[in-house]
Amino acid sequence: MRDVIFVRLLMGLFGLFALVGCVEPVEQGSAGSTRILAIGDSMLAWNATSRNSVSHVVERALDEEVLDRSVSGARMLYSLPISGALGLRISSQYVSGDWDWVIVNGGGNDLWLGCGCGKCARQMARMISANGDIGEIPKFIGQIRQSGAKVIYLGYLRTPGRDSPIDHCAEVGDRFESRLEAMASRDPGVFFLSNRDLVPFGDLSFHSLDRIHPSIKGSAAIGARVAQTISGQNG
């Protein structure tokens, strides 16, 4: 019973974070002064107030600005028009520009809050098919690629294995990531970066107190992987 109450409390907090995100999305840089755009949900937006988000880490590592429009609570599948246009629909965060790279994450809120990481077959199929070529995610990534930008799609930070409300999401997370990997394999300009191997079992230092979102250390580790990918391709 306590676990149910805890999860409901966290879901309420997600709603609060989403409301805040709609009013004031994280946004550093500008479309005219940078070649890197970041869009997604709270995994990217977390630690932004202390300037330690994934995007801030990428900025410092590459010594160039990143325009970050990620919004906590955002989903890939989101039908409400006003809040969706304000950023709770991840595709609406995208802005046209002369981007070299677009960093994307998303889908976790659709699976955890949308279907409880339980009966998610329909939800997952709407986002991305088993072979990675059909669904809202490949459709959206394809639209970004038409602009000429390369795409980095980030996998989620996995549970530390100790009393996390998303412990039960591991299996559905693996299936989701296998589809994202299939999508990336179809296009040399799309890179899928999994974080499934980032957190040693039982190590709480990569997570915030909620054991869902990244700590400053977690954001730093994810950002370092992103920066390394961009540097490797640019080199």
CATH number of the domain residue 195 falls in: 3.40.50.1110
Summarize the confidence of residues 126-150 as an average pLDDT. Answer: 97
- 133: tokens are 């070529």
Q: Say whether pLDDT at 25 is over 80.
A: no
Number of domains composing the chain: 1
Q: What is the pLDDT of residue 82?
A: 67
Question: How high does pLDDT run on average in the chain?
Answer: 86
Average pLDDT over residues 97-111: 95
Rounded Cα distance between 200 and 210, Å, is 17
Query: What percent of the chain has a predicted confidence (pLDDT) above 70?
Result: 84
Average pLDDT of the residues in 24-38: 64
* 8 Å CB contact between 167 and 159: yes
pLDDT, residue 174, reads: 92
Q: What's the mean pLDDT in 61-81?
A: 91
pLDDT at 81: 66
- If you search the block for the tokens 């599948």, which residue do you land on? 77
Q: What is the mean pLDDT of residues 174-193?
A: 97
Which of 8-22, 66-80, 92-106 is least confident? 8-22
Query: Has residue 65 got a pLDDT over 60?
Result: yes
Residue span of the structural domain in which 112 resides: 2-234
Is residue 226 within 8 A of residue 152, CB to CB? The reply is yes
Q: Is pLDDT at 2 greater than 70 in this prediction? A: no
